[in-house]
Amino acid sequence: MPELDPIVARLRAAGCVFAEEEAAVLRSSARDEAELAAFVAERETGVPLEHVVGWAEFCGLRVIVEPGVFVPRPRTERLIERAREFIRTGDVVVDACCGSGAVGLALAVGEPGIRLFATDIDEHAVAVARRNIGGRGEVVVGDVLDALPREILGGVAVLTVIAPYVPTGDIPLLPHEARDFEPRLALDGGPDGLGVLARVVADAPRWLAPGGVLLTEVSEDQAPAAADLLRAADLTPEIDSDEETGSTLVLGRA
């Protein structure tokens, strides 16, 4: 029997399901043996891998993350795929509730000719998003869409929004990595999980260009209610669920 890699063994013992992959990420991120030992010890205490190493892989990109900022999820890559269908060079693109800025970054890397705006209510998230997005766009602090510049009213071709969408009563059921290391503000979507999304959708029509599209991610059982919110805002909804990635998207066209 080949001997088990000691780091993989420790990660497995700590309950990491993808211990081999995690060991590879820790090794590739540590600058020396001392840092690697510190990373392994931190991960053993349950700190999310991405917060230990300071980055998350998203759409093939290294996205900076910090403790206290939402870690972009792999399922969200589907929202990027769908959003890219609608984006043309020169378009104004807005990513609301941007967190680390992963969504905007991936869209701007895919189509560098867009005018990108990202916004979030959390100053810490905005600081991280500014580092990720750099010169590719503007990142502003504000509630829902309130901080966007007035000059883009009626001109937004694509509006992405992944608002917090966990119903308040389900927060205790989340894995402890989310509950203990991601801010409540990034998770808690109110009684039905759709509180922040509802406010973005209600304000979206005055920002969207004719034919513009809003794309959001929710849980599968929230999709019909999210589609109703879009309908009430005069947007034509489409629900797009993908079993393989576990992603449920709701799109609305102006």
Ligand X SMILES: C[S@@+](CC[C@H](N)C(=O)[O-])C[C@H]1O[C@@H](n2cnc3c(N)ncnc32)[C@H](O)[C@@H]1O
Inter-residue contact 163 to 196 (CB < 8 Å): yes
CA-to-CA distance for 128 and 105, rounded, in angstroms?
12
Stretch that binds ligand X, among 9-17, 23-31, 97-105, 208-216 (CB under 6 A): 97-105
Stretch that binds ligand X, among 9-17, 31-39, 94-102, 221-229 (CB under 6 A): 94-102
What is the smallest separation between the CB atom of 143 and ligand X, expressed in angstroms?
5
Question: Within 10 A of 143 (CB to CB), how many other CB atoms are there?
Answer: 12
Helices and strands, number each (H, E), in the chain: 11, 9
In 3D space, the residue among 86, 149, 76 whose CA is nearest the CA of residue 118 turns out to be: 149
Size of the site for ligand X (CB under 6 A): 21
Q: By CB under 6 A, is residue 186 in contact with ligand X?
A: yes
Q: By CB under 6 A, is residue 103 in contact with ligand X?
A: yes
The radius of gyration of the chain's CA atoms, rounded to the nearest angstrom, is 19
Rounded (5°) CA angle 182-184-187: 80
Q: By CB under 6 A, is residue 164 in contact with ligand X?
A: yes
CA-to-CA distance for 206 and 178, rounded, in angstroms?
34
Stretch that binds ligand X, among 17-25, 158-166, 171-179, 234-242 (CB under 6 A): 158-166
Looking at beta carbons only, is 7 or 59 nearer to ligand X? Answer: 59
What is the smallest separation between the CB atom of 22 and ligand X, expressed in angstroms?
20
Q: By CB under 6 A, is residue 139 in contact with ligand X?
A: no
CA-to-CA distance for 101 and 87, rounded, in angstroms?
18
Q: By CB under 6 A, is residue 65 in contact with ligand X?
A: no
Residue of the chain from 94, 98, 128, 158 that contacts ligand X (CB under 6 A): 98
- By CB under 6 A, name the binding residues for ligand X: 70, 72, 76, 97-100, 102-103, 120-122, 125, 143-144, 162-164, 185-186, 196
